[in-house]
Amino acid sequence: MNKSSNKILSSFCYFSVFFAPFIFPIVVWALSNGDTSRNAKRALLYHILPMISLGLSTVLFSIYNNNHSSVMFILAIIFIIAVPFYMLKNLYLGIKVLISEK
């Protein structure tokens, strides 16, 4: 593939947070090499991190549900901040790949 195709594929890995958050970066990571593979791994990481925070919040919610409502409030705030942050981070990185000179 030429350089512009690799840049588009790399940016789609980041933009896939909206349409195929896990499948697309895994396929690109498995089938590509170089910068495209590296970008696919990073995109997959940024897609997985909000899910990990959701899982941790769920586990902590089940542990602290009865006694500590302030802990639950803090966890909810962290999750509410984390998800949009990672979505915006993916958008930023996708645009950054598209406009980069490499």
**17, two tokens:** 């947070």
pLDDT tens digits, 43-74: 999 989 888 877 887 787 777 666 666 777 77
CA distances from 30 to 22, 40, 63 (A): 12, 9, 38
Q: Sign of torsion, CA 81 84 87 88?
A: negative
pLDDT tens digits, 26-36: 999 999 888 89
Predicted TM-score of the model (pTM):
0.79
